[in-house]
Structure 1
């Protein structure tokens, strides 16, 4: 690069000189403006943080309550009646409750129903597959807990409650009994966990059209309280959520439940909080609400605390169509933001001088970085040219060099992927197999694995009779089946034509391997949807599967694949099953 006087500027100078000038200019501007703009910046930052934090709390509340209505609708669709006793409807209720708790398992993992007879049934999800059914058929008896796995798993007795649970006396039952629409209870202390819970409930009618009971789902507020208690507003800031009556739902400055002398639990009111700041903030918010009401959107206010400290407060209302109404509050002292403003002014000036020196070194580093990445990309290209398809590029950038590296990695991926099925190809499979074997000649038990070699039966006849387009769809469907059959850590590959291979990452015994082989063959024998439109019914052509066990059947990749290949052909022609393609009037083909 040359200027008008004929002086040449090197790439290093082009990179460093503008950067130095920019850093110096920015440093001078920041020093000049920092002092005069300090107070305004503090106010703007604190206001923005207030709004953002109130919004975050509101979003957290929404995440907790938004799915409750859909859960109730899935458990008891609107208009569905129920008989007077739940004994005849346990299976149906269990199925619907399982589906309902699958919608929003966190936090709506518990759905239950109580009726006028004092009967109760509830389903609590411990995980995606584990559930607990809580039942009582007579009002005086204790609830019995049964554990089960899966939507229709057998029930196993787990325990029986030590305290009498009468659904008719619970807040959710009374709230749902009074109204024809879904409603929220006031926050209450849960019967079983002693945690704060909000319950969305709805009345259920009987076959005679009269009130029969109440269905409800719990929203545990423990996670919400943990979120608020761990929220870091500022050094001395705080946040809390209250009901309109002042009872705390969650707080970053103290508990929302306290133990009473008799061992019971009781709610904590903001007016009785151990934090003087919480009490003062709630009083100010209440005064604002009494004077102006709670308008839509976040509101802010400022007041002087007892010690003269200026406190900035933001608050908002969370409401929904079922009557829920909570108030979220965030507050922070002004001193949290003023501390260090003067020190920052001096520090900024010093950093400005230091930045000029760093900029020169940084420019040299940038130049070295650019050239180094180009060299690295060139080396990767040479390695791929030599056959090392998986050679790592190792460049993470967002500029043109990064785009080039990304394109190169995409090319590497395509070289290792079968274009039709999306599976790994032969080269990728052999590379993974050799890597899995490694240099170990006598592997420990943890390294034992196996290979499946799969060949589709009568695939040539599919192409000859239906055409290659249908044959391609068959291959894609088989690939999808194989990928869905094995574990995520196993590798499925298409070797060529109608040949597939699977690298089973961890197989302990040959008995386990044989079970896996039989399972894969059964999966392949299922009717092919790709042929459903081409024949009177979907045909199951199946496939032959050979196995090889490492290290017993070979200690290198080629030996393992050959062993699995030979066993596949032995199985293919030893007891060949009835040929399903005879249904099409075709002659049997020669061995694949």
Structure 2
């Protein structure tokens, strides 16, 4: 007697057997070949990325030495007073700030008398020549269009500034080589800056002053952020103490409770992978007595128990630079990038797919047309078409599945509280209309209303969230009654709603609908009739955006409607 299997058994037993066999074969092959290839490729890629970042750091900093050499060449002496060398200083500083074609380039010189002169290149035709004849007097600022332009009337800046009290002056004054300061936050740009400086002597060989130049680090941070190593990787540059200079995943500066910007240490950056990478790098440096001549690579167990590949390098120079570059990525990120493993897996998967297809055809011949319609509907839902009508008349297992599927479709499109369309469904509908509107034959104008309830927080704070929910339900009902059958009414978020007006002749028609919706929300809410707010008039602010217009997708169109709503609210129109 032929055994009778259930539908679940017919669909499960053959595929389980096939999948188990394929999984065992693919798993053994992947473990044997893939792990070795992944380890080799990932290590080489990480070391190469560390080298790229180190080169970027070098490009960022190397020009500073040339700037200082141009301003005060090796062996060049300085007079005790600035007035003696002003013309020569102006010419050399002009050349120094022009070396690399960068704007925001500067060079400055302070002497033992407390005098200070600097040049700041703001643009191709705007250079500021700044002179402070006395540490207690005002700073004179001259705007120069060219190197030999006569000095115009200066602008005076009164706060005193003694260059002898600056960290770059104090460090360089006692050093016979170029020096780097620690990275600091610039008071004007609010960005990270590092200063390079060197000592300048007089004709007798005695110390006379310090010449310096600032190097802004924002472009280095932008370069690190632009790196795309793997989906979950992190790259960062730090000082020896762990303070972040650049990071691909976290900021390097945070605003404190007092409003002041402060540096962020890698150990306190808040990114689990970055924190773990810094901790293991620091331990490796400690274990190796703090010295690595070349880039180093290691593996460790990171957040979530994942194996993480880490590569780092120590950046040093004769001027005292002491930075570290590090790159870390979960080992799993590289599995999909191994071509040999992918090809083997694809071949096995293809054979498995052919076998599964053959078995599937044999099995599906035993099933009814209802199952085919259910499969088609599931495929369309997977593609985002949540409004596909499912017509299945069968009973039993398939009928229950179809009914459950239809309920799932409805829940995916609907806001659970108000019964309106949800935000995701609204955005899909708008994108679909915009896609149709890009074809000339289907170009029909439509509009989006963005609605924000006025003083809704008063309801929640006074009566509680349950009363607020009842008001939201009533708002949804009013919006449905105020709109047409072809319009899509949706709850966007919290007390915000949106309406897709399917057909509007022109802007005047859209404005009429806006006023109609605004009017329908003015009367007191019936759901508050038995409360202390029964006579309150809340109303709403309604924004409008139309298509065709400047928006190219649903997100931009809703943003325009949102902006218009805020403009309306600001004007006090609603």
TM-score for both structures, normalised by structure 1: 0.51
d(CA) in 2 for partners of 1:240, 1:306: 18
The structure 2 residue matched to 1:297, chosen from 294, 299, 302, is 294
Aligned in 2, Cα 1:346/1:208: closer, same or farther, shift over 3 Å?
Answer: closer
Aligned in 2, Cα 1:35/1:177: closer, same or farther, shift over 3 Å?
Answer: same
User: Partner of 1:410 in structure 2?
Assistant: none
Secondary structure of 1:203's match? strand
Deviation of 1:171 after TM superposition, in Å, equals 1.8
**Matching of residue 197 in structure 1 with residue 198 in structure 2:** no
User: Partner of 1:219 in structure 2?
Assistant: 215
User: Partner of 1:516 in structure 2?
Assistant: none
Q: How does 1:335-414 map to 2 (within 5 A)?
A: 335-339=332-336, 345-347=344-346
User: Partner of 2:79 in structure 1?
Assistant: 83
Deviation of 1:303 after TM superposition, in Å, equals 0.6
Q: How does 1:145-544 map to 2 (within 5 A)?
A: 145-156=141-152, 160-161=156-157, 164-292=160-288, 293-339=290-336, 345-347=344-346
Deviation of 1:299 after TM superposition, in Å, equals 0.2
Deviation of 1:340 after TM superposition, in Å, equals 7.9
Q: Deviations over 1:109-138 (max 9, x none)?
A: 211101223221111223444322122112
d(CA) in 1 for partners of 2:56, 2:95: 24
The structure 1 residue matched to 2:120, chosen from 99, 109, 124, is 124
User: Partner of 1:42 in structure 2?
Assistant: 38
d(CA) in 1 for partners of 2:273, 2:154: 46
Contact residue 137 and residue 158 of structure 2 kept, 8 A = no
Q: Deviations over 1:365-420 (max 9, x none)?
A: xxxxxxxxxxxxxxxxxxxxxxxxxxxxxxxxxxxxxxxxxxxxxxxxxxxxxxxx
d(CA) in 2 for partners of 1:351, 1:142: 79
User: Partner of 2:70 in structure 1?
Assistant: 74
d(CA) in 1 for partners of 2:226, 2:343: 28
d(CA) in 2 for partners of 1:80, 1:120: 18
Q: Deviations over 1:306-349 (max 9, x none)?
A: 41011110000112222212110000011212358787655467
d(CA) in 2 for partners of 1:265, 1:109: 23
Contact residue 108 and residue 217 of structure 1 kept, 8 A = no
d(CA) in 1 for partners of 2:162, 2:346: 67
Contact residue 122 and residue 133 of structure 1 kept, 8 A = yes
d(CA) in 1 for partners of 2:94, 2:347: 60
Secondary structure of 2:270's match? coil
The structure 2 residue matched to 1:53, chosen from 49, 53, 62, is 49
Aligned in 2, Cα 1:289/1:305: closer, same or farther, shift over 3 Å?
Answer: same
Deviation of 1:173 after TM superposition, in Å, equals 1.0
Gap runs ≥5 in structure 1: 1-29, 353-592
Q: Deviations over 1:125-155 (max 9, x none)?
A: 2344432212211212343332212222234
d(CA) in 1 for partners of 2:260, 2:203: 40
Q: Deviations over 1:152-211 (max 9, x none)?
A: 223446755575443222221111112122111111222432321111111112345322
d(CA) in 2 for partners of 1:239, 1:106: 26
TM-score for both structures, normalised by structure 2: 0.52
d(CA) in 1 for partners of 2:128, 2:101: 13
Contact residue 108 and residue 219 of structure 1 kept, 8 A = no
Aligned in 2, Cα 1:261/1:32: closer, same or farther, shift over 3 Å?
Answer: closer
Deviation of 1:57 after TM superposition, in Å, equals 0.2
Secondary structure of 1:277's match? helix
User: Partner of 1:377 in structure 2?
Assistant: none
Contact residue 82 and residue 206 of structure 1 kept, 8 A = yes
Q: Deviations over 1:42-76 (max 9, x none)?
A: 22221121011101001001101122222211111
Aligned in 2, Cα 1:161/1:33: closer, same or farther, shift over 3 Å?
Answer: farther
Secondary structure of 2:223's match? helix
Contact residue 103 and residue 124 of structure 2 kept, 8 A = no
d(CA) in 1 for partners of 2:62, 2:186: 20
Secondary structure of 2:282's match? helix
Q: How does 1:129-144 map to 2 (within 5 A)?
A: 129-144=125-140
d(CA) in 1 for partners of 2:264, 2:293: 27
Moved more, 234-243 or 112-121: 112-121
Gap runs ≥5 in structure 2: 1-25, 352-574
d(CA) in 1 for partners of 2:282, 2:103: 30
Contact residue 184 and residue 322 of structure 1 kept, 8 A = yes
Moved more, 97-106 or 300-309: 97-106
Contact residue 123 and residue 134 of structure 1 kept, 8 A = yes
Secondary structure of 1:312's match? strand
